[in-house]
Structure 1
Amino acid sequence: MGAPETLPDVQGMLADFGFTIDQVGVKSVKFPLQVASADGGAQATVATLDMYVALPPTQKGTHMSRFLEQLHAHQGPLDGRALHGFVRDMAQRLNAESAEVSLRFPYFVRKTAPVSGAVSLLDVEAAMRGEWRADRGWTLTLTVTTPVTSLCPCSKEISRYGAHNQRSAITLSVELAADADMSLEHLVRVAEHSASCELFGLLKRPDEKWVTERAYDNPKFVEDLVRDIARALVADPRVQAFVVESENFESIHNHSAFARIRHRR
């Protein structure tokens, strides 16, 4: 068997190509991963990843295979600190001045029914984005979209019988301080505590009574939801910036009510 053939490295060609490319890499890669949970364990999921680096004007192209090589070599659950190391290693592997990895995945939160104690899982949409830049350092952003119940204060006030309620989707996107970490469960709880009532995967009849009365005693406009969450996030020193959104899927209209707050310290 002869010596392996030496192939030209076209991507590594050096010349003046005119422009820096802000992000180049691979997009929409589906891959099984483990995500760290608040109890110190890990949860298996399937993530969709985007992986990018910056490319200087002196280099023709990046080495796309190296993104997948690093992903396949990764071991252990991902949390903010593990993602930090992953992104820094990716920048070093590709000799880049900046690198970014974002991943989106379903995440399951363990819930206990308020009266019966029945245990169930509630699925939320989660995302993590880590960016490292040689001139700015590390940025971690966590995002969760949590379903909750909201009950209309106006409907309760003007109606003789009951009040209309709806399911709401609350999205929290939180940028953390450089050395801070936060669990996805914490963000889910922040959203739930600001709602008229949280949701559960499994309820018995006594639980249904409890959640119905809980929502009725705790009416919230869509404006109330985002303001209450904003107050909680502003009070958390780990949070550098956030976007909070709530979409209420109205039960008496063929449209949604919506509110958003953006904030940076």
Structure 2
Amino acid sequence: MTNNQTLCPKSLADMQSAKDGDYNTELSWVGMEQIDLPVEIEGKPITAKVNAGINLLAVESGEKGIHMSRLYLLLDTLTQQEITPLVLKDTLNAFLKSHHSQSSEASIEISGDILLSRKSLNSNLFGWKAYPLKLTAKMHRVLSLHLQVGIPYSSTCPSSAALSRQVTQLKFRQDFGKRIDRLPLEEVARWLGESGMPATPHSQRSWAWVNIKLAADAEKIPVKKLIDVCETALGTAVQTVVKRSDEQAFAVANGQNLMFCEDAARTLKRALISENCCDAFDIRIEHQESLHPHNAVARVNWTGENNAT
């Protein structure tokens, strides 16, 4: 027998199960954060960071702490199959069962990036784009499930576009105001190509952070649908593969979808209500300004009623 074997007793100390003299102090959440876990959502692999925990009740049989290893081992269920609302519900119930009479609430938070193949605007090419997501599941008598995705897009300022057009008008008057002949079409077209943009509107990379509450009877985690609905509504999703024809098409899309952050928030609200894909949502729009050193932000939420709160 080795020295190590000699030093390992048959019965191991279990300090978590020791009775706590301060058992009347309830803890709202105890668990682990930033657990590395490979998961699959809607057929896409995600290298996730997972937070998992339960509350600790104030009961006479109160113990010092929870058995975190029990929760950690139960999380392996999430790696064996695609994550669905039912899988999350079963895992959370297993959390509570593992600490019977000690806990009444359990939660799992899954964060990571989902990679989706996106088609170019004009050249029929494809590239990959990563979208940050966070899936939060809580069990307190019933399952509560929230999905948040981050969607990058381009926003061109309507005010800047109007001011730029005004400069173009002034330039046109300067160059042609004294002409008394009828301007030939080709001459005007040549002027537009050479001098027709004395000022350009400012655009910036922007983010829509969309957090939806899934319906109680949801069968899937609708990540791709949520992203598609939002990108279609905004009209200026950030691109992957870009040839010159794609860049031109992107410029046209920006010109046809001028927006303040307020416009983007209202547009997404209308789109999500129309799709009827969730029970409630919260949207945060962030335009990362190229004109200012600060960002322009708008928020809107909906709880199934007509008015935002």
TM-score, with length taken from structure 1: 0.90
Q: Give the C-alpha shift of residue 79 in structure 1.
A: 3.0
**Which of 85, 89, 114 is matched with 1:107 structurally?**
114
**% same residue:** 25
CA contact (8 A) 1:121 1:200 kept: no
CA contact (8 A) 2:157 2:258 kept: yes
Unaligned runs of 5+ residues in structure 2 are: 166-196, 305-309
CA distance in 1, matches of 2:303, 2:94: 29
Q: Name the counterpart of 2:66.
A: 62
Q: Considering only CA atoms, is the larger Rg found in Structure 1 or Structure 2?
A: 2
Over residues 135-185 of structure 1, what are the superposed CA-to-partner deviations in whole Å (9 max), with x where a residue is unaligned?
A: xx0110000011101111111222133422111011001111211244111
CA contact (8 A) 1:91 1:97 kept: yes
Q: CA RMSD in A?
A: 2.1
Q: Give the C-alpha shift of residue 122 in structure 1.
A: 0.8
Q: Name the counterpart of 2:255.
A: 216
Q: Name the counterpart of 2:34.
A: 28
Residues paired across the two proteins, number:
258
Q: Which moved more, 1:158-167 or 1:96-105?
A: 158-167
**Which of 172, 187, 196 is matched with 2:226 structurally?**
187
CA contact (8 A) 1:101 1:131 kept: yes
Matched to 1:45, the amino acid is: I
CA contact (8 A) 1:195 1:220 kept: no
Q: Secondary structure at the match of 1:54?
A: strand
Compared CA separation, residues 165 and 196, structure 1 to 2 (3 A)? farther
Q: Name the counterpart of 1:93.
A: 98
Q: Name the counterpart of 2:12.
A: 7
TM-score, with length taken from structure 2: 0.77
CA contact (8 A) 1:226 1:246 kept: yes
Equivalent residue runs for 1:203-242 within 5 Å: 203-242=242-281
Q: Give the C-alpha shift of residue 43 in structure 1.
A: 1.9
Q: Secondary structure at the match of 2:138?
A: strand
CA distance in 2, matches of 1:263, 1:210: 33
Unaligned runs of 5+ residues in structure 1 are: none
Matched to 1:168, the amino acid is: S
CA distance in 1, matches of 2:277, 2:87: 18
Matched to 1:159, the amino acid is: S
Matched to 2:252, the amino acid is: E
CA contact (8 A) 1:151 1:163 kept: yes
Q: Secondary structure at the match of 2:16?
A: coil
Q: Which moved more, 1:143-152 or 1:16-25?
A: 16-25
CA distance in 1, matches of 2:156, 2:114: 26
Q: Which moved more, 1:246-255 or 1:153-162?
A: 153-162
Please tell me whether residue 129 in structure 1 is matched to residue 132 in structure 2.
no
CA contact (8 A) 1:107 1:126 kept: yes
CA contact (8 A) 1:196 1:219 kept: no
